[in-house]
Structure 1
Amino acid sequence: MARPRLRAIPLGGIGEVGKNMMIVEYRNDIVMIDSGTKFPEEEMRGIDLVIPDISYIIENIRRFRAILLTHGHEDHIGSLPYILPQLERIKPVPIYGSPLALAFARSKLAEANVEHLADFVPIDAGQQYSIGTSMKVEFIPVTHSIPGAMAISIDTPVGRLVHTGDFKFDPTPPLGPPTDERRLKELGDQGTLVLFSDAVRVERPGRTPSEADVSATLDRIIAAAPGRVILTSFASNILRLEQTIQVGARHGRKVAVVGRSMEQSVQVAMDLGYIQPPRGTLLPIDQVTRLPKNQVLILTTGSQGEASAALARMASGDHPKLRIQEGDTVILSATPVPGNEETVSQTIDNLFRKGANVIYSALEPNIHVSGHSARDELRMMIDLLRPQFVVPIHGEYRHLSLYKDLVAIPAGIPPRNVIIPESGVPLSFSRGDVRKDPPVKYGAVLVDALGGDRYRNVVLRHHDTLATAQVIIATLIVDLEQGIVIAGPELTSKGFDDEDGHKLIAATEKELHTYLERQLKKGGLSYGYLVGKVKDVVARSIFQKAKLRPMVVPVVMEL
């Protein structure tokens, strides 16, 4: 009789940045590590988010035990509102994580009205949790760009699996403890079968700078700004938000938070004591906008150029309370996620056109530092744990390959013991060998939301249903500088073949044409913002008129 093996199945985060999800199983017990989202690629216009396909979990739902969260960033928790309804048969699903990670998860699930599907289990670092009949799980603190980040150790009869999550070795983290090197070494002394390691920053030699370096840069820029300061970052980057609030307060500025997701993140972090603004510093936007410009600091969403985020709406003149003005200092304290580079560049161009002084990492390298380990720190993790097998994760294919050649093999890991994973392909471990089992069903599920609400009236578009879906392609050619439509808009449809369908498409096309003429006259639109609005106008029109949710694909050519 064959001995049971430990299996790990990546369902996301392999060959891509985002959508992180790993399945770990031993005998009758299955757990999920992280449940992330990913921004759509440039060619996926009209889609709001991409999440992993969990068909394998649904097929094996009787063996599913829990979700383990490494930390609270979107690419690790963002798909929970879409995943949990698919697991309703076994509600409430236990979700383990640090208090901050769980607070972010709870906020998302509450907004989506599915909080009742989860059983939140706050963890204590260093404590072991028995999950199922054969897994002992421990969370080890690591530093990242958010407090409460954890590596996860899963001890089974076959051996120990360690998943690093996102990490770096920052000796002076502004919030939270440094990476627990002592405990990692103890796990190495006890024996580690396999290490699954973050690899996304392997191209950078040396070490990642400390978050403390950002504070000095922010202080210098905000002190010199003659007018309003507007800073954008990831909504969940609690470190950056706390740093900015404290620096702003030192320079006599009042702070307003703009953008729903950032408002929620700040409130969660304040409730847990991670953000502690000086008394009277944090004010509603209506009060802050009445102050002299040199006393104003605004924190906002939109660091990735998202069309529906507050910064893009400010730059396009579409925000109800704020416009970018000449003399504003706009700070982008984030680096573009792969796939978003062009959208971010367009946003920066649009801000310059409005007369803003734009600060971003190409001009000020320390306006943002990564939360991920550079090459020396990746090697350090191997040296502490001394695993028998190493699997690089969380990165595009070049990152995984470079990790093997530049980190794992120089650290003394035999080449045959460094496995480049593939999405959906189980890695099966015994005490002395590893093999790849036949692939399970995996892939990308497209989240198609109506307007800015990503949780209500959402369609999850699975790979095997796209062929039969109703589709509308909205085509137009524009000159954004002159603010004119050169050709179109023209709507081409599939699945609207009867007379009522033709009338519906014609009415929607007319509505889109009216919107474009009105909006383009205002000027200041970025390409990405326009594409998002074309999709939004068409989708809303069809839904309001016929309560249908076709897939809307905007095709916009700019001359």
Structure 2
Amino acid sequence: MNYPHPELAAPPALAPGALRIVALGGLGEVGRNMAVFEIDGRLLIIDCGVLFPEDAQPGVDLILPDFTALADRYDDIDAVVLTHGHEDHIGALPYLLRQRADILLIGSRLTLALVAAKLKEHRITPTLQEVREGEVLQVGPFSCEHIAVNHSIPDSLAVAVTTSAGVVVHTGDFKMDQMPLDGRITDLAALARIGQAGVDLLMVDSTNAEVPGFVPSERDIAPALDRAIATAPRRVIVASFASHVHRIQQVLDAAMRHGRKVTFVGRSMVRNMAVARDLGY
């Protein structure tokens, strides 16, 4: 058990037609994002990610969400909705699917491609349902509308979950970048429409929300990358998340301009870049 308040008792039985949301990770930490929605005995999960260990946790490779709350209830899960393809949102799926391999996974084209490649390494053949922004999908008692949001990985989605108990908007991770590299901005019109109709709960990503000012555009880093790659007399080593497709594309563009060759290092980097290339990202 790793509850922040172990003295708390189990929650009471859920009344018919009431909605309960339990976070199994991702609160007060950057990683292992996982939220479980429950109504009338059915469960919908949003994201299932890992947390990477700190320096003070030697020998630990990954930290998983606490699946204890799902014990003996895996058959009640209608689907897992994935907001985007970062490890802190999809990385724990292999461990969840070991408990029940045929759970429906819902996500965008790139997200599901990254998931499928990851699960292949674990010898798991997933059940996938691709969705696009603007699409509404009914999953058991949950109606899920998918909304385009901008993030550091393509094809990110927010989801508005409607049940008989009300409307919950889960933003996933997002940026308000008005000049993204792929031209796909956060769909503020859709969020405004949903908000005007009425939202009972907004679950919003808050990473660095306490930092004043505006988030710079992803384009702003291009001159610095170009300058470093152009002036370095020897090799340039660029550290990046393996799923940061836009950043890596900028590195490739700068390397090409200055006649440099690029080598990907790391299994995840090689795998994810192959997936992004094959899908045209």
After superposition, the C-alpha distances for 1:11-36 in whole angstroms (9 at most, x for unaligned) are 00112111110001111321111110
Are 1:64 and 2:77 an aligned pair?
yes
Give the aligned partner of residue 42 of structure 1: 55
Amino acid at match of 2:277: M
Please tell me whether the aligned partners of residues 149 and 175 of structure 2 are also in contact (alpha carbons under 8 angstroms). Answer: yes
Counterpart CA distance in 2 for 1:172 and 1:68 is 27
Please tell me whether the aligned partners of residues 58 and 86 of structure 1 are also in contact (alpha carbons under 8 angstroms). Answer: no
Please tell me whether the aligned partners of residues 163 and 196 of structure 1 are also in contact (alpha carbons under 8 angstroms). Answer: yes
Give the aligned partner of residue 246 of structure 1: 253
Counterpart CA distance in 2 for 1:42 and 1:204 is 24
Give the aligned partner of residue 112 of structure 1: 122
Give the aligned partner of residue 45 of structure 2: 32
Amino acid at match of 1:191: G
Give the aligned partner of residue 113 of structure 2: 103
User: Cα offset for 1:55?
Assistant: 2.5
Counterpart CA distance in 2 for 1:4 and 1:272 is 41
Distance 1:246 1:264, change over 3 A: same
Query: Equivalences for 1:219-368 in 2 at 5 Å?
Result: 219-274=226-281
Amino acid at match of 2:139: I
Please tell me whether the aligned partners of residues 169 and 179 of structure 1 are also in contact (alpha carbons under 8 angstroms). Answer: yes
Once structures 1 and 2 are overlaid, which stretch shifts more, 50-59 or 26-35?
50-59
Give the aligned partner of residue 183 of structure 1: 190
Counterpart CA distance in 2 for 1:206 and 1:187 is 27
Counterpart CA distance in 2 for 1:150 and 1:74 is 15
Q: Alignment partner of 1:25: what SS?
A: strand
Are 1:155 and 2:165 an aligned pair?
no
After superposition, the C-alpha distances for 1:514-559 in whole angstroms (9 at most, x for unaligned) are xxxxxxxxxxxxxxxxxxxxxxxxxxxxxxxxxxxxxxxxxxxxxx
Please tell me whether the aligned partners of residues 79 and 103 of structure 2 are also in contact (alpha carbons under 8 angstroms). Answer: yes
2:132 to 101, 121, 124: 124
1:53 to 51, 66, 87: 66
Counterpart CA distance in 2 for 1:66 and 1:154 is 12
Please tell me whether the aligned partners of residues 77 and 103 of structure 2 are also in contact (alpha carbons under 8 angstroms). Answer: no
Counterpart CA distance in 1 for 2:272 and 2:183 is 17
Report sequence identity in percent: 44
Q: Alignment partner of 1:81: what SS?
A: helix
Aligned length: 267
Counterpart CA distance in 2 for 1:61 and 1:81 is 14
Q: Alignment partner of 2:189: what SS?
A: helix
Please tell me whether the aligned partners of residues 90 and 115 of structure 2 are also in contact (alpha carbons under 8 angstroms). Answer: yes
Are 1:19 and 2:26 an aligned pair?
no
User: Cα offset for 1:41?
Assistant: 2.9
Amino acid at match of 1:181: L
Please tell me whether the aligned partners of residues 22 and 35 of structure 2 are also in contact (alpha carbons under 8 angstroms). Answer: yes
Mark the runs of 5 or more structure 1 residues left unpaired by the alignment.
275-559
User: Cα offset for 1:44?
Assistant: 2.1
Amino acid at match of 1:96: I
1:94 to 91, 98, 104: 104
Amino acid at match of 2:47: D
Give the aligned partner of residue 205 of structure 2: 198
Please tell me whether the aligned partners of residues 58 and 87 of structure 1 are also in contact (alpha carbons under 8 angstroms). Answer: no
Give the aligned partner of residue 94 of structure 2: 81
Q: Alignment partner of 2:99: what SS?
A: helix
User: Cα offset for 1:200?
Assistant: 1.6
Amino acid at match of 1:83: L
Q: Alignment partner of 2:210: what SS?
A: coil
Q: Alignment partner of 1:245: what SS?
A: helix
Q: Alignment partner of 2:63: what SS?
A: strand
Provide the TM-score with structure 1 as the length reference: 0.47
Q: Root-mean-square deviation (CA), in Å?
A: 1.2
Counterpart CA distance in 2 for 1:39 and 1:111 is 19
* Higher Rg: 1
Higher relative CO (CA 8 A, sep ≥ 6), structure 1 or 2? 1
Counterpart CA distance in 1 for 2:109 and 2:71 is 28
Mark the runs of 5 or more structure 2 residues left unpaired by the alignment.
1-14
Higher helix share: 1
Amino acid at match of 1:25: E
Please tell me whether the aligned partners of residues 146 and 158 of structure 2 are also in contact (alpha carbons under 8 angstroms). Answer: yes
User: Cα offset for 1:3?
Assistant: 5.0
After superposition, the C-alpha distances for 1:316-339 in whole angstroms (9 at most, x for unaligned) are xxxxxxxxxxxxxxxxxxxxxxxx
After superposition, the C-alpha distances for 1:414-473 in whole angstroms (9 at most, x for unaligned) are xxxxxxxxxxxxxxxxxxxxxxxxxxxxxxxxxxxxxxxxxxxxxxxxxxxxxxxxxxxx
Amino acid at match of 2:80: I
After superposition, the C-alpha distances for 1:198-242 in whole angstroms (9 at most, x for unaligned) are 112112112100001011211111111122112111111111111
Give the aligned partner of residue 7 of structure 2: none
Query: Equivalences for 1:126-141 in 2 at 5 Å?
Result: 126-132=134-140, 134-141=141-148
Please tell me whether the aligned partners of residues 147 and 176 of structure 1 are also in contact (alpha carbons under 8 angstroms). Answer: no
2:173 to 141, 144, 166: 166
Q: Alignment partner of 1:138: what SS?
A: strand
